[in-house]
Amino acid sequence: MGQNAHHHVPMTCAVVAQKGGVGKTTTLLGLAGAAWERGLRTLVVDLDPQANATSAMDPASTAYSTNDVLADARSGVAADAVVASGWGPGIDLIPAERALEHRAVPEGRDSTLRLRLALEGVIDNYDVVLVDCPPSLGELTRNALAAVRLALVVTEPSFFALPGAAAALEAIEVVRGSNNLVLRPAGVLVNRSRPQTSEHAFRLVELEAAYPNLILPYVVPERIAVQQAQGACVPVQAWRSPGAREVADVYDDLLDMLLTKAAETVADLGVSSTMTFSTGTESS
Ligand SMILES: Nc1ncnc2c1ncn2[C@@H]1O[C@H](COP(=O)(O)OP(=O)(O)OP(=O)(O)O)[C@@H](O)[C@H]1O
Ligand SMILES: [Mg+2]
Protein backbone atom coordinates (compact mmCIF):
# COMPACT_ATOMS: atom_id res chain seq x y z
CA MET A 1 0.00 0.00 0.00
CA GLY A 2 1.58 3.26 -1.12
CA GLN A 3 1.72 5.04 2.20
CA ASN A 4 3.60 8.02 0.80
CA ALA A 5 1.67 8.39 -2.41
CA HIS A 6 -1.77 8.14 -0.83
CA HIS A 7 -3.46 9.16 2.34
CA HIS A 8 -4.98 5.93 3.62
CA VAL A 9 -8.26 6.26 5.50
CA PRO A 10 -9.52 3.09 7.18
CA MET A 11 -13.20 2.29 7.53
CA THR A 12 -13.91 2.89 11.22
CA CYS A 13 -17.23 1.81 12.72
CA ALA A 14 -18.70 1.52 16.22
CA VAL A 15 -21.52 -0.95 16.87
CA VAL A 16 -23.99 0.59 19.31
CA ALA A 17 -27.29 -0.02 21.13
CA GLN A 18 -28.65 1.03 24.47
CA LYS A 19 -30.25 -2.34 25.00
CA GLY A 20 -28.35 -5.46 26.02
CA GLY A 21 -28.34 -8.71 24.12
CA VAL A 22 -29.62 -7.36 20.79
CA GLY A 23 -26.56 -8.53 18.86
CA LYS A 24 -23.94 -5.78 18.95
CA THR A 25 -21.08 -8.19 19.53
CA THR A 26 -22.51 -10.72 17.09
CA THR A 27 -22.69 -8.02 14.41
CA LEU A 28 -19.14 -6.89 15.12
CA LEU A 29 -17.87 -10.48 14.94
CA GLY A 30 -19.82 -11.03 11.71
CA LEU A 31 -18.25 -7.94 10.15
CA ALA A 32 -14.77 -8.85 11.41
CA GLY A 33 -15.31 -12.32 9.91
CA ALA A 34 -16.32 -10.82 6.57
CA ALA A 35 -13.15 -8.71 6.62
CA TRP A 36 -11.13 -11.81 7.61
CA GLU A 37 -12.54 -13.72 4.64
CA ARG A 38 -11.47 -10.90 2.29
CA GLY A 39 -8.01 -10.60 3.78
CA LEU A 40 -8.54 -7.03 4.99
CA ARG A 41 -6.28 -5.83 7.78
CA THR A 42 -8.68 -5.53 10.69
CA LEU A 43 -8.54 -4.15 14.23
CA VAL A 44 -11.27 -4.92 16.74
CA VAL A 45 -11.43 -2.62 19.77
CA ASP A 46 -13.39 -4.19 22.64
CA LEU A 47 -14.93 -1.36 24.65
CA ASP A 48 -17.32 -3.53 26.67
CA PRO A 49 -16.28 -4.61 30.21
CA GLN A 50 -18.09 -7.91 29.53
CA ALA A 51 -15.29 -8.63 27.02
CA ASN A 52 -17.47 -10.88 24.87
CA ALA A 53 -15.71 -9.96 21.62
CA THR A 54 -12.36 -10.61 23.30
CA SER A 55 -13.47 -14.09 24.37
CA ALA A 56 -14.84 -14.94 20.94
CA MET A 57 -11.64 -13.82 19.21
CA ASP A 58 -9.48 -15.88 21.56
CA PRO A 59 -6.19 -13.92 21.67
CA ALA A 60 -3.13 -15.89 22.79
CA SER A 61 -1.99 -13.20 25.20
CA THR A 62 -3.39 -9.98 26.62
CA ALA A 63 -0.93 -7.72 28.41
CA TYR A 64 -2.90 -4.49 28.26
CA SER A 65 -6.59 -3.80 27.75
CA THR A 66 -8.86 -0.95 26.71
CA ASN A 67 -9.01 -0.19 30.45
CA ASP A 68 -5.27 0.62 30.41
CA VAL A 69 -5.63 2.44 27.09
CA LEU A 70 -8.33 4.80 28.38
CA ALA A 71 -6.57 5.29 31.73
CA ASP A 72 -3.43 6.44 29.92
CA ALA A 73 -5.05 8.06 26.87
CA ARG A 74 -1.84 9.53 25.46
CA SER A 75 -1.73 9.91 21.68
CA GLY A 76 -1.02 6.56 20.04
CA VAL A 77 -0.75 4.61 23.29
CA ALA A 78 -3.25 2.00 22.06
CA ALA A 79 -0.44 0.50 19.94
CA ASP A 80 0.93 -1.14 23.10
CA ALA A 81 -2.35 -2.98 23.70
CA VAL A 82 -2.80 -4.48 20.22
CA VAL A 83 -2.56 -8.28 20.16
CA ALA A 84 -3.09 -10.88 17.45
CA SER A 85 -6.50 -12.53 17.63
CA GLY A 86 -6.88 -16.28 17.44
CA TRP A 87 -8.54 -15.93 14.04
CA GLY A 88 -5.30 -15.76 12.14
CA PRO A 89 -2.94 -13.19 10.66
CA GLY A 90 -4.28 -9.75 9.89
CA ILE A 91 -7.05 -9.77 12.49
CA ASP A 92 -5.89 -7.86 15.57
CA LEU A 93 -7.60 -7.02 18.81
CA ILE A 94 -7.40 -4.56 21.67
CA PRO A 95 -8.93 -6.69 24.42
CA ALA A 96 -11.30 -5.61 27.17
CA GLU A 97 -11.42 -6.68 30.80
CA ARG A 98 -13.87 -6.35 33.66
CA ALA A 99 -11.90 -3.40 35.15
CA LEU A 100 -12.90 -1.32 32.09
CA GLU A 101 -16.01 -0.56 34.17
CA HIS A 102 -13.90 1.99 36.05
CA ARG A 103 -13.47 3.99 32.83
CA ALA A 104 -17.22 4.30 32.28
CA VAL A 105 -17.36 7.60 34.15
CA PRO A 106 -16.19 10.92 32.66
CA GLU A 107 -12.60 11.69 33.68
CA GLY A 108 -11.40 15.23 33.33
CA ARG A 109 -11.48 17.51 30.31
CA ASP A 110 -11.82 15.79 26.93
CA SER A 111 -12.91 12.60 28.64
CA THR A 112 -14.89 11.59 25.55
CA LEU A 113 -11.80 11.92 23.35
CA ARG A 114 -9.64 9.41 25.24
CA LEU A 115 -10.07 6.54 22.78
CA ARG A 116 -9.62 8.74 19.70
CA LEU A 117 -6.36 10.13 21.08
CA ALA A 118 -5.07 6.70 22.08
CA LEU A 119 -5.81 5.30 18.60
CA GLU A 120 -4.02 8.13 16.76
CA GLY A 121 -1.71 6.64 14.18
CA VAL A 122 -2.63 3.10 15.25
CA ILE A 123 -5.67 2.84 12.99
CA ASP A 124 -3.62 3.85 9.94
CA ASN A 125 -2.24 0.30 9.82
CA TYR A 126 -5.68 -1.16 9.10
CA ASP A 127 -8.35 -1.29 6.41
CA VAL A 128 -11.16 -1.92 8.88
CA VAL A 129 -11.48 -0.83 12.52
CA LEU A 130 -14.51 -2.02 14.50
CA VAL A 131 -15.40 -0.94 18.04
CA ASP A 132 -17.70 -3.05 20.24
CA CYS A 133 -19.72 -1.08 22.79
CA PRO A 134 -21.42 -1.96 26.07
CA PRO A 135 -25.23 -1.96 26.34
CA SER A 136 -25.34 1.70 27.31
CA LEU A 137 -25.07 5.08 25.61
CA GLY A 138 -22.79 6.38 28.38
CA GLU A 139 -19.15 7.41 28.52
CA LEU A 140 -17.62 4.29 26.93
CA THR A 141 -19.98 4.41 23.94
CA ARG A 142 -19.38 8.15 23.62
CA ASN A 143 -15.64 7.43 23.45
CA ALA A 144 -16.29 4.91 20.69
CA LEU A 145 -18.46 7.37 18.76
CA ALA A 146 -15.86 10.11 19.05
CA ALA A 147 -13.20 7.82 17.54
CA VAL A 148 -14.98 6.57 14.39
CA ARG A 149 -16.62 7.78 11.18
CA LEU A 150 -19.55 5.38 11.13
CA ALA A 151 -21.96 4.18 13.81
CA LEU A 152 -24.04 1.09 13.23
CA VAL A 153 -27.13 0.75 15.42
CA VAL A 154 -28.31 -2.80 16.13
CA THR A 155 -31.81 -3.78 17.20
CA GLU A 156 -34.10 -6.76 17.42
CA PRO A 157 -37.53 -6.58 15.81
CA SER A 158 -39.32 -6.13 19.15
CA PHE A 159 -41.67 -3.67 20.86
CA PHE A 160 -38.59 -1.96 22.37
CA ALA A 161 -36.81 -1.57 19.04
CA LEU A 162 -38.20 1.82 18.10
CA PRO A 163 -37.36 3.79 21.29
CA GLY A 164 -34.01 1.98 21.49
CA ALA A 165 -33.04 2.97 17.95
CA ALA A 166 -34.22 6.53 18.57
CA ALA A 167 -32.04 6.85 21.69
CA ALA A 168 -28.97 5.49 19.88
CA LEU A 169 -29.45 7.81 16.88
CA GLU A 170 -29.80 10.75 19.28
CA ALA A 171 -26.55 9.81 21.05
CA ILE A 172 -24.80 9.69 17.66
CA GLU A 173 -26.08 13.21 16.86
CA VAL A 174 -24.89 14.53 20.22
CA VAL A 175 -21.35 13.21 19.76
CA ARG A 176 -21.29 14.38 16.14
CA GLY A 177 -22.29 17.88 17.21
CA SER A 178 -19.91 18.16 20.14
CA ASN A 179 -16.86 16.04 19.31
CA ASN A 180 -16.81 14.42 15.90
CA LEU A 181 -18.17 16.23 12.86
CA VAL A 182 -17.27 13.40 10.47
CA LEU A 183 -19.43 10.87 12.34
CA ARG A 184 -22.37 9.45 10.37
CA PRO A 185 -25.04 6.93 11.31
CA ALA A 186 -24.49 3.91 9.03
CA GLY A 187 -28.04 2.77 9.65
CA VAL A 188 -30.08 0.50 11.88
CA LEU A 189 -29.47 -3.23 11.47
CA VAL A 190 -32.28 -5.57 12.42
CA ASN A 191 -30.79 -8.70 13.97
CA ARG A 192 -32.22 -12.02 15.04
CA SER A 193 -35.22 -11.82 12.83
CA ARG A 194 -37.70 -14.64 12.39
CA PRO A 195 -39.65 -13.12 9.50
CA GLN A 196 -42.19 -15.93 9.50
CA THR A 197 -43.48 -14.69 12.87
CA SER A 198 -46.08 -11.96 12.43
CA GLU A 199 -44.76 -9.99 15.43
CA HIS A 200 -41.30 -9.66 13.86
CA ALA A 201 -42.76 -8.77 10.47
CA PHE A 202 -44.95 -6.12 12.13
CA ARG A 203 -42.01 -4.58 14.03
CA LEU A 204 -39.95 -4.48 10.86
CA VAL A 205 -42.68 -2.53 9.07
CA GLU A 206 -42.98 -0.21 12.09
CA LEU A 207 -39.24 0.49 12.10
CA GLU A 208 -39.15 1.12 8.36
CA ALA A 209 -42.06 3.55 8.67
CA ALA A 210 -40.28 5.50 11.43
CA TYR A 211 -36.83 5.57 9.78
CA PRO A 212 -37.31 5.04 6.05
CA ASN A 213 -33.74 6.02 5.21
CA LEU A 214 -31.98 4.42 8.15
CA ILE A 215 -33.33 0.88 8.42
CA LEU A 216 -30.84 -1.20 6.46
CA PRO A 217 -32.12 -3.50 3.73
CA TYR A 218 -30.16 -6.40 5.24
CA VAL A 219 -31.76 -8.39 8.02
CA VAL A 220 -29.73 -10.95 9.98
CA PRO A 221 -31.81 -14.07 10.63
CA GLU A 222 -31.65 -16.07 13.85
CA ARG A 223 -29.38 -19.05 13.17
CA ILE A 224 -27.86 -21.50 15.62
CA ALA A 225 -24.59 -21.43 13.62
CA VAL A 226 -23.99 -17.92 14.98
CA GLN A 227 -23.78 -19.27 18.54
CA GLN A 228 -21.85 -22.38 17.50
CA ALA A 229 -19.15 -20.32 15.78
CA GLN A 230 -18.90 -17.95 18.75
CA GLY A 231 -18.56 -20.90 21.13
CA ALA A 232 -15.79 -22.35 18.98
CA CYS A 233 -14.02 -18.95 18.84
CA VAL A 234 -14.00 -18.89 15.01
CA PRO A 235 -15.59 -16.47 12.53
CA VAL A 236 -19.06 -17.58 11.44
CA GLN A 237 -17.59 -17.46 7.93
CA ALA A 238 -15.41 -20.44 8.89
CA TRP A 239 -18.37 -22.49 10.10
CA ARG A 240 -19.61 -24.99 7.57
CA SER A 241 -23.39 -25.08 7.58
CA PRO A 242 -26.15 -23.60 5.42
CA GLY A 243 -27.19 -21.28 8.29
CA ALA A 244 -23.64 -20.03 8.71
CA ARG A 245 -23.37 -19.30 4.97
CA GLU A 246 -26.70 -17.50 5.07
CA VAL A 247 -25.64 -15.05 7.80
CA ALA A 248 -22.14 -14.75 6.31
CA ASP A 249 -23.71 -13.48 3.09
CA VAL A 250 -25.59 -10.79 5.02
CA TYR A 251 -22.41 -9.66 6.82
CA ASP A 252 -20.59 -9.55 3.49
CA ASP A 253 -23.24 -7.19 2.06
CA LEU A 254 -23.16 -5.16 5.26
CA LEU A 255 -19.37 -4.78 5.09
CA ASP A 256 -19.65 -3.67 1.45
CA MET A 257 -22.17 -1.04 2.45
CA LEU A 258 -19.95 0.24 5.28
CA LEU A 259 -16.88 0.44 3.03
CA THR A 260 -18.92 2.38 0.47
CA LYS A 261 -20.35 4.76 3.10
CA ALA A 262 -16.91 5.34 4.59
CA ALA A 263 -15.51 6.19 1.16
CA GLU A 264 -18.39 8.66 0.67
CA THR A 265 -17.69 10.39 3.99
CA VAL A 266 -14.07 10.80 2.99
CA ALA A 267 -15.10 12.07 -0.45
CA ASP A 268 -17.46 14.56 1.24
CA LEU A 269 -14.47 16.02 3.00
CA GLY A 270 -12.81 16.61 -0.34
CA VAL A 271 -9.81 14.33 0.05
CA SER A 272 -11.02 11.62 -2.32
CA SER A 273 -8.43 12.41 -4.95
CA THR A 274 -5.55 11.61 -2.62
CA MET A 275 -6.83 8.58 -0.78
CA THR A 276 -6.89 4.89 -1.40
CA PHE A 277 -9.71 2.74 -0.22
CA SER A 278 -9.32 -0.97 0.10
CA THR A 279 -12.44 -2.99 -0.64
CA GLY A 280 -10.70 -6.31 -0.53
CA THR A 281 -11.17 -6.90 -4.25
CA GLU A 282 -8.01 -5.01 -5.15
CA SER A 283 -4.59 -6.29 -4.20
CA SER A 284 -3.04 -4.38 -1.34
N1 LIG B 1 -28.65 -13.77 14.52
C2 LIG B 1 -28.47 -14.53 15.59
N3 LIG B 1 -28.75 -15.85 15.56
C4 LIG B 1 -28.58 -16.61 16.66
N5 LIG B 1 -28.13 -16.16 17.84
C6 LIG B 1 -27.82 -14.85 17.94
C7 LIG B 1 -27.99 -13.96 16.84
N8 LIG B 1 -27.63 -12.72 17.24
C9 LIG B 1 -27.25 -12.83 18.50
N10 LIG B 1 -27.37 -14.10 18.96
C11 LIG B 1 -27.04 -14.60 20.30
O12 LIG B 1 -27.72 -13.78 21.23
C13 LIG B 1 -26.89 -13.51 22.36
C14 LIG B 1 -26.71 -12.01 22.51
O15 LIG B 1 -26.01 -11.52 21.37
P16 LIG B 1 -24.80 -10.51 21.52
O17 LIG B 1 -23.90 -10.94 22.63
O18 LIG B 1 -24.22 -10.31 20.19
O19 LIG B 1 -25.60 -9.20 21.98
P20 LIG B 1 -25.00 -7.84 22.51
O21 LIG B 1 -25.91 -6.77 22.07
O22 LIG B 1 -23.57 -7.72 22.18
O23 LIG B 1 -25.15 -8.08 24.09
P24 LIG B 1 -24.53 -7.13 25.24
O25 LIG B 1 -25.42 -5.94 25.27
O26 LIG B 1 -24.61 -7.95 26.48
O27 LIG B 1 -23.14 -6.79 24.84
C28 LIG B 1 -25.59 -14.26 22.12
O29 LIG B 1 -25.62 -15.49 22.77
C30 LIG B 1 -25.56 -14.48 20.62
O31 LIG B 1 -24.86 -15.62 20.25
MG1 LIG C 1 -21.93 -7.36 23.39
Q: What is the mean pLDDT of residues 148-172?
A: 94
Q: Is the pLDDT of residue 54 over 70?
A: yes
Total count of domains within the chain? 1
Confidence of residue 7 (pLDDT cuts 50, 70, 90): low
CATH number for position 67 = 3.40.50.300
Taking the centre of ligand 1 as the mean of its atom positions, its distance from the CA of residue 219, in whole angstroms, is 14
Q: What is the pLDDT of residue 197?
A: 86
Residue 123 lies in a domain: yes
By most ligand atoms within 8 Å of CB, the mutation choice from 16, 18, 25, 28 for ligand 1 is 25
> Of ligand 1's atoms, which has the minimum distance to the CA of residue 193?
1
Bridge partners of residue 221, in order along the sequence? 193
Taking the centre of ligand 2 as the mean of its atom positions, its distance from the CA of residue 33, in whole angstroms, is 16
Q: Is the pLDDT of residue 74 over 80?
A: yes
Among protein residues, the one whose CA lies closest to atom 15 of ligand 1: 23
> Of ligand 1's atoms, which has the minimum distance to the CA of residue 28?
18
Percent share of the chain, pLDDT over 70: 92
Residue 30 lies in a domain: yes
Q: What is the pLDDT of residue 284?
A: 36
Residue 188 lies in a domain: yes
Among protein residues, the one whose CA lies closest to atom 14 of ligand 1: 21
Among protein residues, the one whose CA lies closest to atom 3 of ligand 1: 222
DSSP for the chain, written as a single string = --TTTSEE--EEEEEE-SSTTSSHHHHHHHHHHHHHHHT--EEEEE--TT-HHHHHH--S--S--HHHHHHH--TTGGGGG-EE-TT-TTEEEE---GGGGGGGS--STTGGGHHHHHHTTTGGG-SEEEEE--SSSSHHHHHHHHH-SEEEEEE-SSTTHHHHHHHHHHHHHHHHHHT-TT-EEEEEEEEEE-TTSHHHHHHHHHHHHH-TTTEEEEEEEP-HHHHHHHHTTS-GGGS-SHHHHHHHHHHHHHHHHHHHHHHHHHHHTT-GGGEE---SSS--
Q: 96: Cβ–Cβ under 8 A, 6 or more apart, which residues?
A: 46, 47, 48, 49, 50, 51, 53, 54, 65, 66, 67, 132
Q: What is the pLDDT of residue 166?
A: 93
Residue 256 lies in a domain: yes
Confidence of residue 270 (pLDDT cuts 50, 70, 90): low
Residue 275 lies in a domain: no
Return mean pLDDT, the chain. Answer: 91
pLDDT tens track for 134-145: 999 999 999 999
> Of ligand 1's atoms, which has the minimum distance to the CA of residue 230?
31
Q: What is the pLDDT of residue 266?
A: 76
Residue 277 lies in a domain: no
Confidence of residue 47 (pLDDT cuts 50, 70, 90): very high
Residue 222 lies in a domain: yes
pTM score > 0.85 for this model? yes
Q: What is the pLDDT of residue 272?
A: 44
Taking the centre of ligand 1 as the mean of its atom positions, its distance from the CA of residue 20, in whole angstroms, is 9
pLDDT tens track for 181-190: 999 999 999 9
Confidence of residue 13 (pLDDT cuts 50, 70, 90): very high
Ligand 1 pocket by C-beta < 6 Å: which residues? 17, 20-26, 48, 50, 52, 135, 191-192, 220, 222-223, 226-227, 230
Percent share of the chain, pLDDT over 90: 80
**Residue ranges making up the domain that contains 104:** 8-265
* Segment among 37-46, 150-159, 187-196, 232-241 with least mean pLDDT: 187-196
Taking the centre of ligand 2 as the mean of its atom positions, its distance from the CA of residue 99, in whole angstroms, is 16
Among protein residues, the one whose CA lies closest to atom 29 of ligand 1: 227
Q: Is the pLDDT of residue 269 over 80?
A: no
Among protein residues, the one whose CA lies closest to atom 31 of ligand 1: 227
Taking the centre of ligand 2 as the mean of its atom positions, its distance from the CA of residue 95, in whole angstroms, is 13
Q: What is the pLDDT of residue 194?
A: 84
Q: What is the mean pLDDT of residues 254-283?
A: 69
Q: Is the pLDDT of residue 275 over 90?
A: no
Q: What is the mean pLDDT of residues 142-150?
A: 98
> Of ligand 1's atoms, which has the minimum distance to the CA of residue 20?
25
Residue 270 lies in a domain: no
Taking the centre of ligand 2 as the mean of its atom positions, its distance from the CA of residue 283, in whole angstroms, is 33
